[in-house]
C-alpha cells in the first residue's frame, strides 16, 4: 500500500514536470509556426502535454478517491480541492480549441490538405494562459495536502 501511494505520488509529480515543460514548449512552438514544416515541433510538445494530462488525471483521481491517501471525504470537504478541480476545469476549457484544432491539423497534414496556420497565434495565447493556472493548482494542492 505504501509502495503504491509512493509510486502514485511520484507519478503525479512527474506529470507536473512533464506538463509544465510541455505546455511551455507548445506555446513557444505555436508562436514560431510559419509553415507546415514547423508543425512537428508543435505535435511533439502536444503529445507530451497529453501524456501529462493522462498521468495527472489517472494518478490524481486514484489518490483522491481510491482510499490511498486521506480518504474521499477529506478531499470532498476541502475547499482547496474544489479550487484545484475548478482550476483544472478552466484549463480544460482553455484547452478545447487547441486540442480539437491540433487533431484536425494532424489529419490534414497527413492528407496534404491546407491548414489555417494563422490560427496558431490564438492557440499559442490559449496555451500560455494555462501556465499560471497550472501553477495556481500547485498552490491549492500544497494547501489541500496540509489541511489549510
Positions in the binding site for ligand HEM (CB under 6 A): 12, 16, 56-57, 60-61, 63-64, 69-70, 75, 88, 134, 137-138, 141-142, 144-145
Q: Which is nearer to ligand HEM, 88 or 105 (CB)?
A: 88
Q: How far is the CB of 60 from ligand HEM (least distance, A)?
A: 2
Q: Which is nearer to ligand HEM, 26 or 63 (CB)?
A: 63
Q: Which is nearer to ligand HEM, 124 or 134 (CB)?
A: 134
Q: How far is CA 7 from CA 52, 59, 65, 76, 106, in A?
A: 15, 9, 16, 23, 34
Q: How far is the CB of 79 from ligand HEM (least distance, A)?
A: 14
Sign of CA dihedral 88, 89, 94, 100: positive
**In 134-146, which positions are buried (b, 16+ CB within 10 angstroms) versus exposed (e)?**
bebbeebbebbee
CB-neighbour burial class of residue 46 (10 A; exposed 0-12, middle 13-18, buried 19+): buried
CA 65 to chain centroid: 20
Q: How far is the CB of 17 from ligand HEM (least distance, A)?
A: 10
Q: Which is nearer to ligand HEM, 58 or 117 (CB)?
A: 58
Q: Whole-angstrom Cα distance, residue 98 to residue 22?
A: 14
Q: How far is the CB of 87 from ligand HEM (least distance, A)?
A: 8
Residue nearest to ligand HEM (CB): 60
Amino acid at each position: 500500500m505504501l509502495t503504491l501511494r509512493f509510486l502514485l505520488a511520484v507519478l503525479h509529480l512527474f506529470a507536473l514536470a512533464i506538463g509544465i515543460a510541455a505546455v511551455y514548449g507548445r506555446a513557444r512552438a505555436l508562436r514560431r509556426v510559419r509553415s507546415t514544416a514547423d508543425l512537428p515541433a508543435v505535435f511533439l510538445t502536444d503529445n507530451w502535454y497529453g501524456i501529462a494530462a493522462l498521468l495527472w488525471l489517472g494518478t490524481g483521481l486514484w489518490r483522491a478517491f481510491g482510499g490511498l491517501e486521506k480518504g474521499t471525504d477529506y478531499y470532498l470537504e476541502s475547499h482547496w480541492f474544489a479550487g484545484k478541480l475548478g482550476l483544472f476545469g478552466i484549463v480544460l476549457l482553455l484547452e478545447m480549441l487547441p486540442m480539437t484544432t491540433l487533431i484536425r491539423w494532424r489529419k490534414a497534414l497527413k492528407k496534404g490538405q491546407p491548414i489555417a496556420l494563422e490560427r496558431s497565434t490564438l492557440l499559442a495565447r490559449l496555451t500560455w494562459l494555462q501556465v499560471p493556472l497550472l501553477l495556481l493548482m500547485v498552490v491549492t494542492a500544497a494547501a489541500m495536502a496540509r489541511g489549510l
